[in-house]
Structure 1
Amino acid sequence: MSNFKTFPKANLNRDLFAISLDASLKTSLQAQLLEALRGLISTSPDLVGTRLPASRTLASELSISRTTVQAVYDQMISEGYLVTRQGSGTFVANEITHLSQPQPIPRPAGPKTQKWLPFQTGLPDQSLLPHKQWARHLERAWRNPTPELLARADPLGWYPLRAAISDHVAAWRHLSCDPGQVVITSGAREAFEVIFHGLLGAGKQVAIEDPCWPKLCTILRDTGNLACPVRIDQDGLDVTRLPDKAHATIITPSRHYPTGVSLPLPRRVALLDWARQTGAMVIEDDYDSEFRYRGQPLPSLSGLDGLNNTIYLGSFSKLVSPALRIGYLVVPKRMLQSTRTYLDRVGPRASLIPQPALATFMNSGEFAMHLRRMRRVYARRQSHLLSALAPACDLLELQPDSSGMHLCVALRAALADRMSDIEISQRAGENGLRISALSDQCVLPQKMQGLLLGYAAFDEDTLSDAADRLVSLIQLPL
């Protein structure tokens, strides 16, 4: 089967008004328009029967006289390219037998959509989104947009959305803030760029947890800063291990990525004491704290601190859809002017289109209902996955996680002596699974060993099948 399609379908209005005429050429404007219109009709058989714009309209769009356009139309009518219909206008003729058929223009087929593979991490189940309600909010926002939506956009984001986020973090994360402290971003990368280009500056030593989000070191390098990895223990980041000259630390206290450890309250207090004493900033990445299945969630670090020495990051990519590309920062009031100055200079990257819809989605109560539903479904899927993996309990350390969207499963000695997590990941890929190796998330030597098993985006039948395949491949020798 050919990998190419035929030429693109013509669009008369688009192509006519894209015609470029040059009055400085020796060829008259009438001759230029005649040649362009002949060429368009000759190479586009699908234009047969299409109505042409009125001569006055085309003349206005091309900035030429109506007499010139009418002369071209009359000439093409006499040549058989065009016909007139009484009271209806001018049309491309149905039969232009003297024209040669155009040669198709090859066009490569579009790329195929890649399906998510079982155990892929960081994916919400987008089928759970109440699409009808979401579409209604989008339609209401843009069917008759307010003047503010059509005016120059605030670089900090759509204010009603910032207000809705302020209410959300107060209710869900015990973080009290003014809507003016909320900054809409296009995601984590832009958020870190705002922080390090616009607020803290470059040339800083920044402590990060190890293991961590693999892109974090790249982002710090790209913003001109030095990443200082600190290996976590069973309780997360230990403040006594932070570098003496660290200007900031980036931490995921609610649920460490990727191990799932939650930072206990004594360590949270110690970290905030360290920030006050040293003047360093604590950057709290709270990427999926809403998905907690057991026990009471601890308040956010920023809530405990009152946003004195902390900056809070949140995202809707896990809560609504990665395609939304909407995240947010909550910054101390003293940093607001610097934030606005930076964003005024570089311009915001978050699309304004979904922001009013997201604001009304949150204010309607449907967003909170959506989160509670996701939390119930994900908790059930985690439990199901643990049961499905039970036949491999002698090879994998299977423990329930109180929150999150994936399990971080350590290898028991009986398995670790035979295979590394990278080898398991490679073999899983050959069997249609996407399993991330914990060692790939480590920066320091002495890599930790484990498997990251995403379950949130996959139904129970898919998880059962994927678990069977994983159990089979780790039970076989290399």
Structure 2
Amino acid sequence: MSNTIKKRQSNFDAALFRLVLDRTSSHSLQAQLINALRDLLVEEQQSSGIRLPSSRLLSQELSVSRTTVVGAYDQLISEGYLRTKTGGGTFAADQLPHLAPPRVTVTQRLKPPQEWRPFQSGIPDQSLFPHRHWARHIERAWATPDRELLAKPDPFGWYPLRQAISTHLSTWRKLECRPEQVLITSGAFEAFDLIFRGLQGPNSHAATEDPGWYTLRSVLGSVGTKTQPIRIDAEGFDAGKIAGSASVAVVTPSRHYPTGISMPMSRRSSLLAWAEEKNALIVEDDYDSEFRYQGHPLPSLAGLDGLKRSIYLGSFSKLLSPALRLGYLVLPEKLLSKTEEYICQFGTRASLIPQPALATFMESGEFAVHLRRMRRTYAKRQRHLKSELADSADLLDLTSDPSGMHLCATLLPKLRGHVTDETIANVAKGEGLQLRALSSHCVLPAPPQGLLLGYAAFNEEALSSAAMKLNQILTQLSQR
């Protein structure tokens, strides 16, 4: 043995026998020994060929049982740090693996999760979600899973859930469709990506609403779709303003987002006539129409069309919880094969885990009970918010909205002449309020001025406190 090897062996032995195991630690002696030996082997720059003492000798030196040392050696052999020679002892491996976990130094505590702040819109009250019932459906689905759950998944999603959605749409939205036309998605992002990347392809042109869902522009831009924003009026989207190059119209006819305007039958007929004349496609984003407080929900545009030239888009994020990450598309028959071809090639992002639970939750009737309960709750909260903002009645137009989860309050002349909605939103943010300016949803010039006031996720006490702050902010700004 060369002098260099002898020196490395001597240094390693000295470090090894200086080890001290803490018998008061919550970690076992064997776990401590494994970590200590691993660290020594990694720290030793040229540990290949170094021989470790016998398990009997090391157990005596460390005053532990031989079983503890043997177990530590076996673990490090399995990890690739040590090797054995028959009748020759235990040695450091020729090439050490990089399996040692990094040592993390915590310099500061992690920030606590941020809670939703009034008047964040589009968020349901998740404290009223029926967690106990939901847990029962999850347990029932996965305690003894159906054989089909463990087989190759259907690219369109769990079939019983698609059946439940089909039944729900027939009852609530007057939309007749077969379960085979329903595609489960992870939400609106995936839905629009699939439509415009998979079905429309690059360089397509889409007519969109202005103001509208501000994220839609980013989604369509990311897939190369050109958009033609069309300023809505008192009756919503006007198909007569669509330019000749557009082959798709993305609309929210039941309750325009974010103003809350419902598209009248004349405008719906005009849009359907445009789609037929141009051989175009209509994408109906029906994001929260189940929450209608007066009368029955309006019939869907896709239902009027008979799903000939319309794609219907729905989500459970606002109906149940955004954490669920489940939505769906209802497709015309003529697009099913192309859609399946695209999904089989690129896959789907919708998790299968919650789908069987959601299916039985809907089939049991608990889903409909939950919707009716939330509809009553949200209607009450809207009335409460309006009453608490009565002091600002000369500053904001607080017309009641017969549906939805937020109020779109336009700025009245007394306020609009002094300040913009963006300024109000920024000042309110400094006071702990989260509201969006209506103009931030626009791309066309001369945007309308208003505030989006979400109320669904907040109880009456929180709404009262937030409304008091907003009243004060508006009064101060109006007096500038």
- Class of the TM-score when normalised by the shorter of the 2 chains: 0.7 to 0.9
Displacement of 1:43? 10
The SS at the match of 2:434 is coil
Quickly say closer, same or farther: Cα 1:82–1:462, change in 2 above 3 A.
same
Matched with 2:411 is: 411
Displacement of 1:41? 10
Does structure 2 conserve the Cα–Cα contact (< 8 Å) formed by 1:166 and 1:182?
A: yes
Matched with 2:389 is: 389
Quickly say closer, same or farther: Cα 1:50–1:413, change in 2 above 3 A.
same
Map 1:268-307; keep pairs closer than 5 Å: 268-307=268-307
CA distance in 2, matches of 1:368, 1:296: 14
The SS at the match of 1:212 is coil
CA distance in 2, matches of 1:79, 1:342: 65
Does structure 1 conserve the Cα–Cα contact (< 8 Å) formed by 2:120 and 2:435?
A: yes
Quickly say closer, same or farther: Cα 1:46–1:207, change in 2 above 3 A.
same
Displacement of 1:151? 1.6
CA distance in 2, matches of 1:401, 1:139: 39
Map 1:444-455; keep pairs closer than 5 Å: 444-455=444-455
Displacement of 1:444? 0.4
Pair 1:195-2:195 in alignment? yes
Displacement of 1:82? 5.2
Displacement of 1:80? 3.7
Does structure 1 conserve the Cα–Cα contact (< 8 Å) formed by 2:59 and 2:69?
A: no
Matched with 1:262 is: 262
Matched with 1:174 is: 174
CA distance in 2, matches of 1:355, 1:410: 40
Displacement of 1:49? 5.4
Does structure 1 conserve the Cα–Cα contact (< 8 Å) formed by 2:118 and 2:434?
A: yes
- 5+ residue gaps, structure 1: 1-36, 53-70, 93-102
Does structure 2 conserve the Cα–Cα contact (< 8 Å) formed by 1:51 and 1:89?
A: no
Quickly say closer, same or farther: Cα 1:51–1:114, change in 2 above 3 A.
closer
Matched with 1:6 is: none
CA distance in 2, matches of 1:450, 1:389: 15
Quickly say closer, same or farther: Cα 1:82–1:147, change in 2 above 3 A.
farther
Q: Which moved more, 1:243-252 or 1:294-303?
A: 294-303
Deviations 1:95-139 (Å, cap 9, x if unpaired)?
xxxxxxxx9741353332011111111100001111100011111
Does structure 2 conserve the Cα–Cα contact (< 8 Å) formed by 1:82 and 1:90?
A: no
Does structure 2 conserve the Cα–Cα contact (< 8 Å) formed by 1:73 and 1:82?
A: no
For residue 65 of structure 2, the aligned residue among 74, 80, 83 is 83
CA distance in 1, matches of 2:215, 2:55: 60
CA distance in 1, matches of 2:459, 2:436: 19
CA distance in 2, matches of 1:444, 1:417: 20
Does structure 2 conserve the Cα–Cα contact (< 8 Å) formed by 1:205 and 1:227?
A: yes
Matched with 2:6 is: none
After TM superposition, the score normalised by the length of structure 2 is 0.81
Matched with 2:213 is: 213
Displacement of 1:267? 1.0
Matched with 2:93 is: none
Matched with 2:46 is: none
CA distance in 1, matches of 2:392, 2:123: 25
Deviations 1:251-290 (Å, cap 9, x if unpaired)?
0001000000000111111111111111000000000010
CA distance in 1, matches of 2:391, 2:129: 33
The SS at the match of 1:207 is strand
Quickly say closer, same or farther: Cα 1:50–1:277, change in 2 above 3 A.
same
Matched with 1:330 is: 330
Quickly say closer, same or farther: Cα 1:77–1:117, change in 2 above 3 A.
same
Does structure 2 conserve the Cα–Cα contact (< 8 Å) formed by 1:51 and 1:90?
A: no
Q: In structure 1, what residue type is equivalent to 2:137?
A: H
Matched with 1:235 is: 235
Pair 1:48-2:47 in alignment? no
CA distance in 1, matches of 2:329, 2:387: 38
Quickly say closer, same or farther: Cα 1:113–1:41, change in 2 above 3 A.
farther
Does structure 1 conserve the Cα–Cα contact (< 8 Å) formed by 2:172 and 2:297?
A: no
Matched with 1:26 is: none
Displacement of 1:51? 8.8
The SS at the match of 2:234 is coil
Quickly say closer, same or farther: Cα 1:74–1:376, change in 2 above 3 A.
farther
The SS at the match of 1:451 is strand
CA distance in 1, matches of 2:199, 2:163: 22
Identity %: 52
Q: In structure 2, what residue type is equivalent to 1:359?
A: A
Q: In structure 2, what residue type is equivalent to 1:308?
A: K
Aligned length in residues: 414
The SS at the match of 1:312 is strand
Does structure 2 conserve the Cα–Cα contact (< 8 Å) formed by 1:239 and 1:271?
A: yes
Deviations 1:365-384 (Å, cap 9, x if unpaired)?
00000000000000000000
Matched with 1:106 is: 105
Quickly say closer, same or farther: Cα 1:178–1:394, change in 2 above 3 A.
same
CA distance in 1, matches of 2:198, 2:354: 25
The SS at the match of 2:227 is strand
- 5+ residue gaps, structure 2: 1-15, 33-52, 73-101
CA distance in 2, matches of 1:260, 1:114: 28
CA distance in 1, matches of 2:56, 2:346: 52
Matched with 2:115 is: 115
The SS at the match of 1:274 is helix
CA distance in 1, matches of 2:148, 2:69: 40
Displacement of 1:75? 6.7
CA distance in 2, matches of 1:465, 1:83: 65
Deviations 1:179-219 (Å, cap 9, x if unpaired)?
11111111101001111111121211100010001111111
Matched with 1:463 is: 463
Displacement of 1:393? 0.6
Displacement of 1:47? 2.5
CA distance in 1, matches of 2:111, 2:55: 41
Matched with 1:473 is: 473
Does structure 2 conserve the Cα–Cα contact (< 8 Å) formed by 1:51 and 1:91?
A: no
